[in-house]
Structures are given as C-alpha cells and as structure tokens.
Amino acid sequence: MSFKFYFSNYFIFVYLEHFNIKEIEDFAKDVSIRYGVKAVPVTFDAVKYNTHKAFYNKLSPKPDGVLCVFGYLGDNIKAIQDFTEAERIIDVNYKGAVLILNIVAHDFMQRKSGWIAAISSVAGDRGRQSNFIYGSAKGGLSVYLSGLRNLLCKHNVQVLTIKPGFVNTKMTRGMDLPKKLMAEPEDVAEDIIKAWKKKKDVLYTKWIWRYIMLIIIHIPERIFKKLSL
C-alpha cells in the first residue's frame, strides 16, 4: 500500500508494507501544525496499476513537485525460486514507480513546470550476488529517471535520482552493516532537500557512496565474480 502526502502542493508517494492509518493521520496533523502547511494522507495501491490514472486525475490541486519513495528489499534467494517474491520486488521498486511517474511526467510536461525526485539505490549501480533482483529493479529505475530527465529538461521540469546506501530503517533492521556507512533517515532527507534546491541530477547519500560505487563498478568482471558482495 502506498500513501500520497500533500504538503503545500508537493506530493510524496510512499510505499508502506505495513501501516497504521491512525499513526499516519496523526503524523500529517503534526506536520500541519508544526510547519503551518496543509498535509493530507490519501491511500492508493502502487501495484494496482489500472487505478493510477484515476487517482492522479482526482487530485486537486495538481502537485508542483513529487517525491517517490518506493522500496521493497525482499529475499533474494527466495525470489530466485519463488515467482511471487521476484514479481513483488520488481513491481514495487520498478513497475509501480515508473507507471505513476509516467502520469506525473506527462502532466508536468504539458504545464512546462514541476520537479520529480525518486529513491533509487546504490544497489542499482552494479549487480551483486546478495541482492541482484532488488538491484536490477533499482538499476532499471535509475535508467528510467535518467531518460526522463533527458526528456523533461526541455520542458523546464527537474528530475532528481536519489541513490541511498545503507539507511537506518526497517529495511536494514537486523543486518550486520558497517555503522560508519549507515545514514539516519533525517540526514538523507536533508541531503535530498539540498540536492533539490541545487537542482542536482543525481544524489548519493551518504556522499561517500559515490566513490565506493565508482570503485565497485570499475572492478574487472573476472575479479568481481570471485568476490562475495
């Protein structure tokens, strides 16, 4: 299930596997009071593709900007054997995001204004044995956003690709990950705002991931396939 948050004509599309609607409504009220903006949670299903257009058409007013936050890591080993798990990873991380953003992009293109930001992942920069199904979906999303940016820049629309590394969320809970590379959600949010204001095309957060992935993608394949990453 996903949520649209409306903040003074900016929308945030968020994928939530499990959610408490009362907690989300309370959060929206807190945002409204704390920051003096209108914040309204509205549900829609990211993987019910035939509902996306009607959902967007009903929004009033239409957004000036959209942040898409979809992420389902899943179980890579299970996904190799289980079609349903593989399909879910692909549908959430790629297909659902692309289809709703296509609708947004078309609207912004006609209006010749707006901005789109979407959460991809450093996992999409190179396939690794630990999460290559998730990584391939995020990699596909990164390529999509790159092409979308190339198209929409001619229509005065900004497209930001966000590539987080390890972030301290439910997705990474229980994993044995290096603490120095772990980012807090609040820090990622600040990085996104800074990148958006500077009209950047691609954001790595933490910043060091740009250089980590630069090294990883340049490791020769004959060496890389022997590594356990």
Number of neighbours of residue 153 by Cβ within 10 angstroms: 12
- 8 A C-beta contact, residue 117 and residue 64: no
Q: Sign (positive/negative) of CA torsion 182, 184, 188, 190?
A: negative
**Alpha-carbon span 41 to 133, nearest angstrom:** 31
Neighbouring CB atoms inside 10 A of 181's CB total 12
Catalytic residue list contains 6: no
Burial (0-12, 13-18, 19+ Cβ within 10 Å), 136: middle
What does the block give as tokens for 193? 């705002």
DSSP-assigned beta bridge partners for residue 163: 204
Distance CA 169, CA 62 (A): 30
Q: Give whole-number Cα distances, 178 to 24, 69, 136, 213, in Å.
A: 31, 24, 23, 16
Query: Choosing from 6, 15, 134, 144, which is the catalytic residue?
Result: 134
Q: What residues are annotated to the active site?
A: 134
